[in-house]
Amino acid sequence: MKALCLVLVSTALFAQQHATKDDWPLYGGTDFSWRYSALDQINTGNVKKLVPAWVFQTGDYEMGLQATPIVVDGIIYLSTSHNWVYAIEGTTGKPLWIYKYPNNPAGRSGYGAQNRGVAVAQGLVILGTLDNSVVALDQKTGREVWRVNVEDYRQCGCNISAAPLIAGDKVVVESTGDDSAHRGYLNAFDIKTGRLRWRFFVIPGPGEKGSETWAGESWKYGGGAPWMTGTYDPALNLIYWGTGNASSDLNGRGRQGDNLYTASVVAVDADSGKVKWHYQEIPHDSWDYDSAYEPMLIDLPVSGVQRKLIVHANKSGFAFVLDRTNGQLLRAFPYVKHITWSAGMTEDGKIINRNEPDVGKTKLICPGSGGGRSWNHATYSPRTGFYYSPAVEWCSEETAFEQEADEGKGFIGGMWRGKHPPGEDSFSHIDAYDPVKGIKKWTYKTKYALLASLLTTAGDLLFTGDPEGYFFALDARTGDKLWSFQTGSGLRGSPVTFRANGRQYVVTPSGWGSLAAGGVSGLFPQDARLFRGGSALFAFALPEDVK
């Protein structure tokens, strides 16, 4: 009994430490990336009274608004597709300053302009750019403090689209390029000066551990770019990052082997950039099944023993539960219905009956190239104990072909076309899971792919948005829909919540865009008019007289 009480007390303290409160200071809310807030002024009892408090139009519409707003001391810091950064007063929506990055290359790749957020720390607002640079701005004025170019984007075909990660006195940024002839990497810079502290190449070079998993010189252009934002555990001083797929995506003939460290979760020492452990979720990936999504850190009892865990979903339709001290797999469970790329996974994570694309032959692969979910983030509520994840049921007709690597250029080694799953139209769902056992608790289903991130709060609410422009709230315990509001544009970004002057606000980006968003229109061309573009930030609150 005493041991159980200690576990419960430890769990409660952990929940308080890793929930956001008045601010939303980091990309995932706090270091552990729960996307959960301890605020409860808005709750299941009064959410139906939620109304718009203000709307801010950014004026930058390409690829919509995919960012996560950062909130510090009631000020919102928001980035847009073309690397504009705004500081916005949280109670009024009034812009305080704007910075427009001057070196945005036109047509840098087939993906278009996009940016998913900034980092704010030590008086600086830090941004990754379309021309593969990192910029630090003065938090109060928006004045540029330092700027460093990582690598010539014209050579590598890469850029920085994700929010930087703060790890102590370092800012860590990713690179895009897992669908091109490029060798992905992470870079850590001194937060005060911009000086390079270390670089971690996802693909080991000759003589390095893991290089034996690449045939010949395939490692040079093997992809693996870790193109989303990782997480950081200060207590262990480890950075956890999900890595991208190997290139060429659909044809692995020229890169025989497991292809480390692609399609993996890696634990990197924050001081040195050296790999402490790794877990490869999809060895020798031939389906474009990135593992680049957020590693969520949760401490929970497993078989009566408190464990430090990572819960991590990737594009394959499976989620993985790992011990974050050593990378041990504890469980893998499917989070989508339609899976044809394999017959499942064994208890120790081995893929059963791989069904790979064939050269010159078309196959229906589920999930398709868009993945069982896109990058939009999951959430965890310590109040309910549930891990909530979005999912999409869609497939692709995939055909592999031979392709020579050309540095910095697309290197997919095949083609795909979006298709509905066998026997039914594509659809989407949000699911609540026991994060340790992988048991589903409830499901909320939608017609079109949900591509916005999820947010949970101590008011037992889950917020997200859909392609038609509806921002809505579910009961986090039951999945019942409680409230919605039409924002006028599809939702693709990440909602957050904060409190200023005693009032709780829920803020969401509204603005439809990205390749995945185009995939929705491709599957439902008759409904494409419903998926409207835009780029606005909506803030909601209860009326002043509602308590």
> Each residue of 225-249: pLDDT tens digit?
999 999 999 999 999 999 999 999 9
- Pick from 167, 190, 158, 163: nearest CA to 236: 167
- Quick check: 467 and 530 in contact, CB under 8 A? yes
- Pick from 288, 287, 330, 283: nearest CA to 311: 330
Instruction: Give the per-residue pLDDT at 177.
Output: 86
Instruction: Give the per-residue pLDDT at 6.
Output: 47
Determine which helix (DSSP H) or strand (DSSP E) holds 156, and give its type and residue range.
helix 153-156
What's the DSSP call for residue 262? T
> Which residues sit opposite 127 in a β-bridge?
135
299 catalytic, yes or no? no
Q: Domain tally for the chain?
A: 1
Instruction: Give the per-residue pLDDT at 106.
Output: 57
Instruction: Give the per-residue pLDDT at 387.
Output: 98
Instruction: Read off the tokens for 227.
Output: 């193109």
First vs last C-alpha separation in the chain: 39
**Section 397-413 average pLDDT:** 95
**Could you give the dihedral angle defined by the CA atoms of residues 198, 200, 206 and 209, in that order, rounded to the nearest 10 degrees?**
110
| Distance between CA atoms of residues 439 and 287, nearest Å | 26
Mean pLDDT taken over the chain:
95
Q: What is the CATH number of the domain that holds 68?
A: 2.140.10.10
Instruction: Give the per-residue pLDDT at 68.
Output: 98
Instruction: Read off the tokens for 318.
Output: 């499976």
Question: Which comes out higher in pLDDT, residue 524 or 545?
Answer: 524
Strand order in the sheet with 461-465: 36-37, 455-457, 461-465, 470-475, 481-486
Instruction: Give the per-residue pLDDT at 12.
Output: 60
| Distance between CA atoms of residues 340 and 542, nearest Å | 46
Instruction: Give the per-residue pLDDT at 8.
Output: 47
> Each residue of 176-200: pLDDT tens digit?
988 999 999 999 999 999 999 999 9
State the residue range of the domain holding 188.
2-541
Instruction: Give the per-residue pLDDT at 413.
Output: 96
Q: How confident is the model at residue 400 (pLDDT cuts 50, 70, 90)?
A: very high
> DSSP string spanning 297-353?
EEEEEETTEEEEEEEEE-TTSEEEEEETTT--EEEEEE--S---S-S-B-TT-PBSS
- Pick from 433, 510, 432: nearest CA to 465: 510
Amino acid at site 121? A
> Which of 288, 290, 460, 466 does the annotation list as catalytic?
288
Which positions ≥6 away from 238 have C-beta within 8 Å?
Answer: 232, 267, 268, 269, 270, 276, 324
> Each residue of 68-110: pLDDT tens digit?
999 999 999 999 999 999 999 999 999 999 999 998 775 444 5
Instruction: Read off the tokens for 20.
Output: 């956001």
Instruction: Give the per-residue pLDDT at 17.
Output: 79
Instruction: Give the per-residue pLDDT at 110.
Output: 52
Q: Is residue 546 part of a domain?
A: no
Q: What are phi and psi of 15, to 5 degrees?
A: -65, -40
Instruction: Give the per-residue pLDDT at 28.
Output: 98
How much of the chain, in percent, has pLDDT values that exceed 90?
Answer: 92
- Quick check: 501 and 91 in contact, CB under 8 A? yes
> Each residue of 40-52: pLDDT tens digit?
999 999 999 999 9
Instruction: Read off the tokens for 175.
Output: 């690179």
> DSSP string spanning 279-308?
EESSTT--S-----S--EEEEEEETTEEEE
Q: How confident is the model at residue 168 (pLDDT cuts 50, 70, 90)?
A: very high
Q: Is residue 547 part of a domain?
A: no
Instruction: Give the per-residue pLDDT at 7.
Output: 47
Residue 397 pLDDT > 90 = yes
**Section 500-512 average pLDDT:** 98
Burial of 68 (0-12, 13-18, 19+ CB in 10 A): buried
Residue 300 pLDDT > 70 = yes
Q: Is residue 162 part of a domain?
A: yes
- Rg of the chain over CA atoms, in angstroms? 22
Instruction: Read off the tokens for 232.
Output: 């950081």
| Distance between CA atoms of residues 241 and 202, nearest Å | 10
